[in-house]
Structure 1
Amino acid sequence: MKRLVTIAMISLLFLGCKSEPKRTDFIINGTAKDVYNGVRAYLKVKQQNGRARVIDTAIVVNEKFTFTGNVLNPTFSLIAINSVNGELDFMLENNQIDININKSDIKQSTIIGSESHADYKIYRDNILELVKETKRLKMQLRNRKIRDSISKLHKIAEKKQQEAPINFIDTHRDSYYSLTLMEQEISKNNADIEAYLKAFNNLDSDIKSSTKGNAIKINLEKSLADYLKTAQIEIGKVAPNFEAPNLDGKMVSLNDVKGKVTIIDFWAAWCGPCRRENPNVVRIYNKYHDQGLEIIGVSLDGTRNQKDPKNAWLNAIKKDELTWTHVSNLQYFQDPVAQLYNINAIPATFILDEKGKIVAKNLRGRALELKVQELLK
């Protein structure tokens, strides 16, 4: 008998501790004090292009309105109400969300029931404080007497502001708002993609495996690949070595050709601007070759419009009197060398110093000659 009672008590305890099933829909209960009957309220979601799309409309009745629906993942959203200035931004998720609209300042409205919104508010309040502090210190920089001491504090404040997004994500690995924040930040031109990919990999597994998580991972990996393509050919980097067939089909590498100054010239027989620039390049080569200037021409001939790409390439070299080293795979913009150097338009040039470092790009005319002169001296 005692055993049966014990089993029953354990069963009741288990049932009592069982978590409620996760909601698969949302209901927004809005209160809009002093907003007249019949006024429309709009629920919008932010799209990847930054624009907001209306997904539901409600009518205010007795100072109340309701939205219902569902979202795959917590989503950055907006509420707008006719006759109320501005919009209320918040994180929409599948839950009961109670919103009390502040008619005089909609951004001061209260939102209860969205965990991801609570995280968004923590981040927003923190970043606003950091921005405020940075501006305050910037104003003090006008005072010459304290400029030196304030300058250090201003740099520290700026750094904190720049690092705020990644720091938030690292300390909120179980938050869906971390995904939203990451999505916003990686779209910026100066985003540290490697740092954000590392932060993404540290997120909780259910966050990473969500629909939005999978989309962001794909975006991050693509952005990292694009970044690595351009990072290795930035000014100051050693130019990547390559190997391609010369006029006789023999493999020639960049390292075989390098001089005191080296120009990598991407061009093609069909490229009008390239051919018009060739006389200038010929003049510079003839003038400075004996002093250490070398050129390697990489042809992007091989377009479908060419009946005989190799013959067109050879004829252009002969006609334009291009007496330096030439290589080509005759694969148009699919040429491996062109892809290595992320070439999407020609003419394109890379100027290297005697150590093989890229010191300039895409110089023409007098500017090209002046840079060659400078490096040779």
Structure 2
Amino acid sequence: MKTLKNWCTGIAMLLVSQALYAQQDSIHISGSLKGLKENSVRVSFADDAGQNIFFKATAVNDVFTITVPKQKVPVVARMDVGIKRDLSAIVDGKSVGNPAPPLDLFIYNQDINLTGDALLVQFADVKGDQENNIFNSYKQSVRAEERRTYLIYNNLFNAQYHGEKLEATTEMLQEEAGVNFKKIRDKQKSFVAQHPEAFASVFLLSRMQNIYTADGYTQAFNGLAAKYKDHPMASGIKSYLKKVSNSLAGSPTVNFERKDKAGKLIRLADYKGKAVLLDFWGSWCGPCRASHPHLKALYEQYKKDGFEIIGIAQERGKSLTEAQAAWTKAIAEDGINWVHILNMDGIEKQDLVKDYNVMAFPTKILVGKDGKVLLRITASATDDIDQALAKIYGH
């Protein structure tokens, strides 16, 4: 009997110690989200060992608590709610739409508290450890622009598919969203520069390749403190920087010889003495083609000064004939009357997309009169090319 009693006591002490250990080794994510009611809250993240884990809780009167394990270093988590927030519609029997963005937060070593609106959970206030508090200060600085832009795109979608009345013309709303994006971009860059030791800076920078030139992105990462430069979140940044290192300012260009769509031989070396923009694009690429009106304006402004554009198309046709058809059709539709070459036509001798380490479209590389790279930018959300051309030509 005494032995059984000792055994039971031992088991009880073990369970108590495990419970205490679990409490000490866990943190609580608690909060109140208006309109959540008795719906669920979900949190997912890859832990500091790289394992994807998922947690779920049911709220009571808008209030919830989720217990998750502490992490040795901050990790990025995504949180969403069990309420329909996605934009969706049925068009010709097919579903179209966009998922609502989740809330980004960091799981680390202290409890977290959230407050906000369940339908707009991505804008909730997040407070807890220092890393979350710093990140929350950034999110507060851009909240007005991000929230307004989100509501604009909701209005545009619902007007198109559900007959909702537009707040203004489509052009006015898109222009307002564009202005907001530029404000957010500038605030992101400023935050990263002013908070070199924050994990939030690494997190933001991991998503910001398209709003810096290759040189600007390199400088931004080099400006960070060493604290999180070896964090797994930084590995993608370092991989990207390695790939664009051959096209930083001052780098020699990779020469090529290709026939244009008229059959004329184009040699990049022949353009020395002129500023040339290499525009990597494709007929299938919406952002590429959306950038063409602005490129046309720049070409019209500076071609009399000797400025040239060489469009390098990466097409998806199964055959060269298919690729050529899609390519020439897009050129005609967009009215882009500069030099054009097709990467597939001659790719067995030289793959220009590979040689220039193009990872996304559009990628634009501005080459100076000396034949060396001036800048490289992915996407078209900045005015870096405009500023560089104004500096070259003085107007």
Q: Which has the larger radius of gyration?
A: 1
TM-score with structure 2 setting the length = 0.41
